[in-house]
């Protein structure tokens, strides 16, 4: 799971911050709760997980076994690691967009930030 978490940081989050054209096209073509809105990437965690799995499979040629248990480990990795500490020096931050008691319905947004 750490490989998929690292891939999320480096290829998806940092790719969005850098405006990687291949990533932006893939996000635009993806049918799920992940989308570029203005200068932010908005997503639910289930949609982010599904997108990351698909994008990883396309890039690596290796199939990722999905399922609720693996999704929960992915979500746990996002919550337990210092994602924003990694993103801030690279010009990004994940913020809460729409709270919900059900973690799967919470919406987040990755935004560009100015760093000194």
- pLDDT for 1 beyond 70: no
- CA neighbor of 53 nearest in space, from 39, 34, 79, 40: 34
The band of 33, judged by pLDDT with boundaries at 50, 70 and 90, is confident
The band of 21, judged by pLDDT with boundaries at 50, 70 and 90, is very high
Distance CA 54, CA 63 (A): 9
Q: What is the pTM of this model?
A: 0.91
Whole-number mean pLDDT of the chain?
Answer: 91
Distance CA 39, CA 24 (A): 12
Rounded to 5 degrees, what angle do the CA atoms 99, 81, 30 make?
A: 60
14-51 b/e (C-beta count within 10 Å ≥ 16 → b): bbbbeeeeebeebbeebeebbeeeeebbbbbbbbbbbb
Among the residue ranges 34-43, 49-58, 64-73, the one predicted with the least confidence is 64-73
Does residue 6 or residue 66 have the better pLDDT? Answer: 6
Residue 112 is predicted with a pLDDT of: 93
The band of 14, judged by pLDDT with boundaries at 50, 70 and 90, is very high
Distance CA 93, CA 87 (A): 6
Catalogue the E-assigned strands of 6-91: 34-37, 40-44
């Amino acid at each position: 799971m750490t490989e998929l978490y690292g891939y999320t940081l480096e290829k998806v989050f940092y790719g969005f911050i850098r405006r990687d054209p291949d990533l932006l096209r893939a996000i635009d073509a993806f049918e799920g709760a992940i989308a570029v809105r203005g200068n932010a990437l908005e997503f639910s965690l289930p949609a982010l997980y599904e997108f990351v799995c698909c994008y990883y499979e396309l890039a690596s040629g290796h199939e990722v076994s999905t399922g609720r248990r693996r999704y929960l480990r992915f979500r746990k990795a996002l919550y337990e690691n210092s994602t924003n500490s990694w993103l801030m020096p690279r010009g990004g931050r994940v913020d809460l967009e729409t709270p919900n008691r059900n973690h799967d319905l919470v919406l987040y947004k990755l935004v560009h930030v100015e760093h000194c």
